[in-house]
Amino acid sequence: MLVAINPYQILPIYTHREIQLYRNKKLSELPPHIFAISDNAFQRLQRLKENQCVVISGESGAGKTESTKLILQYLAAISGKHSWIEQQIIEANPIMEAFGNAKTVRNDNSSRFGKYIDIRFTPEGAIQGARLQQYLLEKSRIVFQSREERNYHIFYCMLAGLSGAERERLQLQEQSPSQYHYLAQGGCFTLPGKQDAKDFADIRAAMKVLSFKPDEVWCILSLLAAILHLGNLRFKATEVANLEAAEVDDAVNLERVALLLGLPNASLNAALTQRTIFVHGEHVVTSLSKEAVLEGRDAFVKSLYDGIFVRIVRRINDTINKQPAQPVNSIGVLDIFGFENFDNNSFEQLCINYANENLQQFFVGHIFKMEQAEYQLEHINWQHIEFQDNQDILDLIAMKPVNIMSLIDEESKFPKGTDSTLLEKLHVQHGNRSIYVKGKTTQTSLFGIRHYAGVVMYNPLGFLEKNRDSFSTDLRSLVQRANNKYLVDIFPHELPMDTAKKQPTLCVKFRNSLDMLMRTLSQAHPYFIRCIKPNEFKQANDFDQELCVRQLRYSGMMETARIRRAGYPIRHVYRAFVERYRLLLPRTPPLEQCDCRLLSRQICESVLPANADRQFGRIKLFLRDEDDALLEAERSRRMLKCIVTIQRGFRRVLFRRYLAKYRQAVLTVQRHWRGRVQRLRYRTMQRGFHRLGACIAAQQLSSRFSMIRSRMIKLQALSRGYLA
């Protein structure tokens, strides 16, 4: 587990030097660092061939997204192939951030969705592919922003970065975001240090890298432009047969929207202002009030943008999620919204906090429950550590029968269900439970939950509508016939009008995706990164102690520190331990004949200090981090010694072989020389010894040969000496 405090400044600690420094190190060898966690996960993946996951949590602005990027940067660097797929995975990030991040009061680049990115590695350790999963994009932001907040970055980037001709085609004559209702409500248009036009060029380049086709990109831009024009569309309240009604009071924008969505003007007009209901087997058309029309338009826009986002993620996955030829292991990184408690908490906060309860349970389960259960099972000496188990909160929200989510679901489907009937039912069902809080006299319309991180009061207003997660069936069936192919793809299932209610609710969809995530996490070896926000003002060198302690407390860090100090993070099955460390003893019998428990004890006694804290369980040995580091260091030292000895012996053998060959060569040369001398002598004798000159010449030659011969003999002797 790593506690990472956001420095709110660029520190020179993420360079190539640090990547090299933390490569192949043990966790406790160097000061804590996000690269140490990343490297350890990678080492485990390679050594044990098991999946790893890193769960990053913390409040908005605490540094989760930056931490995720640093992990990806490290993994890409050490996998070291600089392959195209690596580039594609990295380039997915600017696209996701453009469509899913926005400026909030807490964070100028706040991720308004959760994400899990699973990076797969080949057995050799190269990145093979990746898969992205997104959770619960904040939809309300598309139609409304609070003061000092912005809509999703992509809108501002698009307006700043499109060419004049492109803006003309999209009918975005106004370049300033202040001219678009959906972008203007927060009163914030530019951000210090952010260059929207440049970012737009980067987003387009990234889309190219991820194989988005030009017409696909154009369809997306057309839909974004249509959203902006829809936001500007004006309606007028009227009356039809003494009933409230509304009509479009803005032919220009209606035409723009119709053109960009590829729909006939008149049909769009009707679908926006009327509703067809199914009564006694007949379709009846009714007019909508202006208020209902605006609500219907916003609901459509929210679903449309969410659909674009989902489709972009799917498109990215089509490119980066290459099916491996053989089973491979992965490292997953979860960057998910932290716990939320605002002045007004709605359905989104309930979902987000439920996700955090799940992660807390995963954490508690891993750190406390499983660990202490194992100590018990192994019969080691252990003083039980108390911890806060949040299982009953999970039960209340979504696990046990008649839980809060199932009540919301039931009420959403019930035709007469309203937010206040929901509140009544919640009170009746759970009112007497200690973790459920009824609003006090000033908050009678609220209900609360005692979460692991504190009490949160929820306002049920709008819960049912948000949970239904749908928009007008008239609009839905109309867009099915649109000319914009991308739009048709976003809403693929043409549901008959009377079955629209059967669409899964948001509760169901969110729970399903969360269940899947928890299953994936539970099959991997986890690491936890707790991001801490140092102050509320995004300031460097400003450490608000109270704020930090609060974050540490509710994330269970105090209990974690206690269990980490008292517990045994390293455990080995005896046989595996002996296999790894037997070389630390001078002589050991073959593994099959060993009493592995006894031998493990002997190894520990010979290497670790006498007072080292270790425990011998039934089948496992339990060690502290520092003792494990000692064992590893000693093992590395012995291995190095062995390698040097082997190398020396090997060199000697090589030298012998070399000398033997050399000797052979000398003998061959000698043999040839001797033959030649004999032949020369013989020929000289043949030509007549009586010729004195010839005789002298022969003698000179002979003495030269003798000299060469004696040198050869000396060489031979030398080589014999070496051999000896």
Q: Which is nearer to ligand ATP, 65 or 412 (CB)?
A: 65
Identified binder of ligand ATP from the candidate list 46, 73, 109, 535, rule CB under 6 A? 109
Identified binder of ligand ATP from the candidate list 38, 52, 88, 110, rule CB under 6 A? 110
Query: Is residue 264 a contact partner of residue 302, using CB atoms and an 8 Å limit?
Result: no
> Which residues does 500 contact at the CB level (< 8 Å), separation at least 6?
470, 473, 476
| The residue type at 678 | Q
Three-state SS letters, 484-547:
CHHHHHHCCCCCCHHHHHHCCCHHHHHHHHHHHHHHHHHCCEEEEEEEECCCCCCCCCCCCHHH
Indicate whether 60 belongs to the interface with ligand ATP (CB under 6 A). Answer: yes
Indicate whether 530 belongs to the interface with ligand ATP (CB under 6 A). Answer: no
Q: Is the dihedral of CA 397, 401, 405, 411 positive or negative?
A: negative
Identified binder of ligand ATP from the candidate list 52, 93, 107, 684, rule CB under 6 A? 107
Give the Cα separation of 406 and 421 in Å (integer).
Answer: 14
Backbone angles phi, psi at 34, to 5 degrees: -65, -30
Q: Is residue 163 annotated as involved in ligand binding? A: no
Q: Is residue 176 annotated as involved in ligand binding? A: no
Give the Cα separation of 259 and 247 in Å (integer).
Answer: 19
> Which residues does 274 contact at the CB level (< 8 Å), separation at least 6?
285, 286, 287, 288, 474
Identified binder of ligand ATP from the candidate list 7, 32, 80, 123, rule CB under 6 A? 7
Q: Which is nearer to ligand ATP, 106 or 635 (CB)?
A: 106
In this structure, the chain runs to a length of 724
Indicate whether 140 belongs to the interface with ligand ATP (CB under 6 A). Answer: no
Mark whether 439 is an active-site residue.
no
Alpha helices in 321-418 (DSSP H): 347-364, 371-377, 391-394, 404-413
Indicate whether 15 belongs to the interface with ligand ATP (CB under 6 A). Answer: no
Which residue among 6, 51, 104, 111 is the active-site one?
A: 111
Q: Is residue 64 annotated as involved in ligand binding? A: yes
Q: Which is nearer to ligand ATP, 64 or 297 (CB)?
A: 64
Q: Which is nearer to ligand ATP, 66 or 410 (CB)?
A: 66
Mark whether 80 is an active-site residue.
no
Identified binder of ligand ATP from the candidate list 21, 25, 66, 322, rule CB under 6 A? 66
The least CB distance from residue 374 to ligand ATP, in Å, is 32
Indicate whether 535 belongs to the interface with ligand ATP (CB under 6 A). Answer: no
Identified binder of ligand ATP from the candidate list 53, 61, 95, 698, rule CB under 6 A? 61
Indicate whether 57 belongs to the interface with ligand ATP (CB under 6 A). Answer: no
Q: Which is nearer to ligand ATP, 107 or 467 (CB)?
A: 107
Mark whether 606 is an active-site residue.
no
Mark whether 338 is an active-site residue.
yes
Mark whether 65 is an active-site residue.
yes
Identified binder of ligand ATP from the candidate list 64, 120, 141, 302, rule CB under 6 A? 64
Q: Is residue 62 annotated as involved in ligand binding? A: yes
Identified binder of ligand ATP from the candidate list 40, 79, 111, 319, rule CB under 6 A? 111
Which residue among 338, 556, 567, 617 is the active-site one?
A: 338
Give the Cα separation of 612 and 628 in Å (integer).
Answer: 11
CB atoms inside a 10 Å sphere around CB 478: 20
Can you say whether residue 208 is alpha, beta or left, with left for phi > 0 and alpha for psi between -120 and 50 degrees? Answer: alpha
The least CB distance from residue 373 to ligand ATP, in Å, is 32
Backbone angles phi, psi at 332, to 5 degrees: -100, 140
The owner of tokens 């070291």 is 80
- Judged by CB under 6 A, the stretch of 58-66, 490-498, 596-604, 659-667 that binds ligand ATP is 58-66
Q: Which is nearer to ligand ATP, 64 or 511 (CB)?
A: 64
The owner of tokens 């405090």 is 5
Q: Is residue 60 annotated as involved in ligand binding? A: yes
Element counts in the chain: helices (H) and strands (E)? 28, 18
Q: Which is nearer to ligand ATP, 99 or 447 (CB)?
A: 99
Mark whether 110 is an active-site residue.
yes
> Which residues does 84 contact at the CB level (< 8 Å), separation at least 6?
none
Identified binder of ligand ATP from the candidate list 180, 337, 363, 486, rule CB under 6 A? 337
Give the Cα separation of 557 and 563 in Å (integer).
Answer: 10
Give the Cα separation of 575 and 591 in Å (integer).
Answer: 8
Q: Which is nearer to ligand ATP, 9 or 541 (CB)?
A: 9
CA atoms within 13 A on the CB side of 374: 20
Distance of CA 454 to the CA centre of its chain: 27
Indicate whether 324 belongs to the interface with ligand ATP (CB under 6 A). Answer: no
Give the Cα separation of 505 and 586 in Å (integer).
Answer: 67
Identified binder of ligand ATP from the candidate list 40, 52, 65, 360, rule CB under 6 A? 65
- Judged by CB under 6 A, the stretch of 7-15, 312-320, 473-481, 707-715 that binds ligand ATP is 7-15
> Which residues does 353 contact at the CB level (< 8 Å), separation at least 6?
339, 340, 341, 449, 451, 453, 456
Give the Cα separation of 549 and 562 in Å (integer).
Answer: 16
Identified binder of ligand ATP from the candidate list 41, 62, 258, 623, rule CB under 6 A? 62
Indicate whether 6 belongs to the interface with ligand ATP (CB under 6 A). Answer: yes
Indicate whether 58 belongs to the interface with ligand ATP (CB under 6 A). Answer: yes
Backbone angles phi, psi at 123, to 5 degrees: -60, -25
Mark whether 403 is an active-site residue.
no
Query: Is residue 246 a contact partner of residue 293, using CB atoms and an 8 Å limit?
Result: yes
Mark whether 107 is an active-site residue.
yes
> Which residues does 14 contact at the CB level (< 8 Å), separation at least 6?
35, 70, 73
Q: Which is nearer to ligand ATP, 7 or 454 (CB)?
A: 7
Indicate whether 673 belongs to the interface with ligand ATP (CB under 6 A). Answer: no
Strands 525-532 and 52-57, how do they pair?
Answer: parallel
Give the Cα separation of 39 and 55 in Å (integer).
Answer: 15
- Residue list 473-492, contact with ligand ATP (CB under 6 A): none
Q: Is residue 61 annotated as involved in ligand binding? A: yes
- Judged by CB under 6 A, the stretch of 6-14, 217-225, 303-311, 392-400 that binds ligand ATP is 6-14
Query: Is residue 520 a contact partner of residue 47, using CB atoms and an 8 Å limit?
Result: no
Q: Is residue 417 annotated as involved in ligand binding? A: no
Q: Is residue 187 annotated as involved in ligand binding? A: no
Residues that bind ligand ATP (CB under 6 A): 6-10, 58, 60-66, 107, 109-111, 337, 531
The catalytic residue positions are 60-61, 65, 107, 110-111, 338, 340
Instruction: Please give the annotated binding residues, written as ranges.
Output: 58-65
Binding residue ranges for ATP: 58-65
